[in-house]
Amino acid sequence: MTRNKTGYKDGDKMALKAVGINKKFGGNTVIQNFSHEFTDGSFTCIMGASGCGKTTLMNMLLGVLSPDSGTVTGNDVRMSAVFQENRLCENLSVLSNLRLVMHGKPDRAIIETELEAVGLSGIADKPVRELSGGMKRRTALLRALLAEYEILFLDEPFKGLDDATKQTVMEYCKQKTAGRTVILITHDKSEAAFFGGETIILE
């Protein structure tokens, strides 16, 4: 594993910390002795080839998977995530899916403005099951971004989007997450370059 750190200053506040975490499945070591401090307000890209353990690492940082050894601290705060699977409520409308994570059931017009920003105008009342794969992916991302969180995890959030749509959605995501603590899982160097910040490469 190699790391490339950029933009960190002495005295930065730690948001999330992993110390010596390890994970095996059967006889296969997936994550070995991973340690890292994610500072508050930082944008971190975790990169590597398919199967190198990126999603496993994210799930341990998120707290949905326990490491075999080592510790993760700082994940007892409000967190939001986009997983490899969209994990939407297929029989509910897009509007209802978004309102599930938003306090106070915000005005419909506010949600429609956010939908328009990612190219999803006019679908608020559609059941998720009727959406295309790319539309579901944008809905899942939007739901994660509209939730209240201290740390946001994004696991390949732009997969399945055509180039033009992907660019629009990345620009929206960058704007919405400015100054927030974000951990992005990707294998795409152009995504890491677009968001900047720190890059961790798993090998």
Contact 134, 118 (CB under 8 A): no
pLDDT of residue 203: 83
Contact 97, 129 (CB under 8 A): no
Show me where the domains of the chain are located. Answer: 1-77+186-203
pLDDT of residue 139: 98
Residue 12 structure tokens? 């930065």
Rounded distance between C-alpha atoms, residue 203 and residue 7, angstroms? 23
Q: What is the pLDDT of residues 153-201, one digit of tens each?
A: 999 999 999 999 999 999 999 999 999 999 999 999 999 999 999 999 9
pTM of the model: 0.91
Q: What is the pLDDT along the chain (203 residues), one digit of tens a residue?
A: 333 333 344 457 889 999 999 999 998 999 999 999 999 999 999 999 888 999 999 999 999 999 999 999 999 999 999 999 999 999 999 999 999 999 877 889 999 999 999 999 999 999 999 999 999 999 999 999 999 999 999 999 999 999 999 999 999 999 999 999 999 999 999 999 999 999 999 98
Contact 123, 135 (CB under 8 A): yes
- The correct CATH number of 1-77+186-203 out of 3.30.70.120, 3.40.50.1820, 3.40.50.150, 3.40.50.300 is 3.40.50.300
